[in-house]
Structures are given as structure tokens and as C-alpha cells.
Amino acid sequence: MSTGIIVMGHGHFASGITSSLELIMGSQPDYEALDFPAESDKEDLKKRLNTVLERLERNEQIIILADLFSGTPFNVAMEIVTEEPNLKLYYGLNLGMLMELISRRMFQGDAELSEGLIEIGRQQIGLFDPEAMEAYTETGEDEL
């Protein structure tokens, strides 16, 4: 099974996170970034999403990742996802979550692709603890 990936977000979130992804992991096949700049509107975004979906239609499934729940990019994607069983929609995207998804697509295959993806996203959020880092550097053990 092949999987296409679409990243969507407000402003230039999608192209920004894609730039970071490509810096770390290189350019990705069957991957599209769809920005929602201030001068755009819901109908324009919907047209552009449909165009991207047509480009990726050869994939057996398409995963759409939105920046946040209930924003315009999410809402536009949600309208389409409810009608298409091969589409999955995630929200709350962060770079660690995106990198994990790309790694899984490259090395594990599509069956386990989105399994645990939300938990991976959560694990990428935290508060840095300087004391834990100090203990880590002193002992060489992974105490973080």
C-alpha cells in the first residue's frame, strides 16, 4: 500500500514545517504542503486541496496533517475526509510527529504507519529541565 501525505496550516505553517523536514530528511515523494495565507479564503483552500488530492490519487491512502483542530485548514479537510474512506485527518501537527510519520513510511510500510502517531506527537512536547540535563551529562546515562 502506498501513502500520500498532505500538510496543511495557517499562514506559511505547511511550507515552513516542510522546509525543516527537508533540511533533516530530504525531499519526500508523494508529499504536499498546503499553506493558507491571509489573502486566501476557504473556497480557494478547498480548490487547492482538491487539486493536491488529484495529484496524490494514485496512493491507496492519504494522510492529511493539519496545524490545529477546528481551524479553516482542518475544517476544509474534514469536509472532504468524511466522504472519502482512504483519507485520514490528524491535527496538532509538530515536526517530531511529521518526521516519525515519514520514517515509518520509508522503513516500516503502510500498515503500521499511523499507529501511535498521536502519542508520538505528544512525546515531542515538554518542558526542558536543566537539572535533568546536568545529571545526564555528569553520568552519561539517559535520565531525561
Is residue 21 within 8 A of residue 52, CB to CB? The reply is: no
> What pTM was computed for the model?
0.87
Query: What is d(CA 8, CA 60) in angstroms, rounded to the nearest whole number?
Result: 20
Low-confidence ranges of the chain (pLDDT < 50): 143-144
Cβ of 33: how many Cβ atoms within 10 Å? 21
Q: pLDDT tens digits for 77-99?
A: 999 999 999 999 999 999 999 99
Q: pLDDT tens digits for 34-50?
A: 999 999 999 999 999 99
- For each of the domains in the chain, give its residue range(s) and CATH number, in order of start: 3-139 (3.40.50.510)
pLDDT (0 to 100) of residue 108: 76
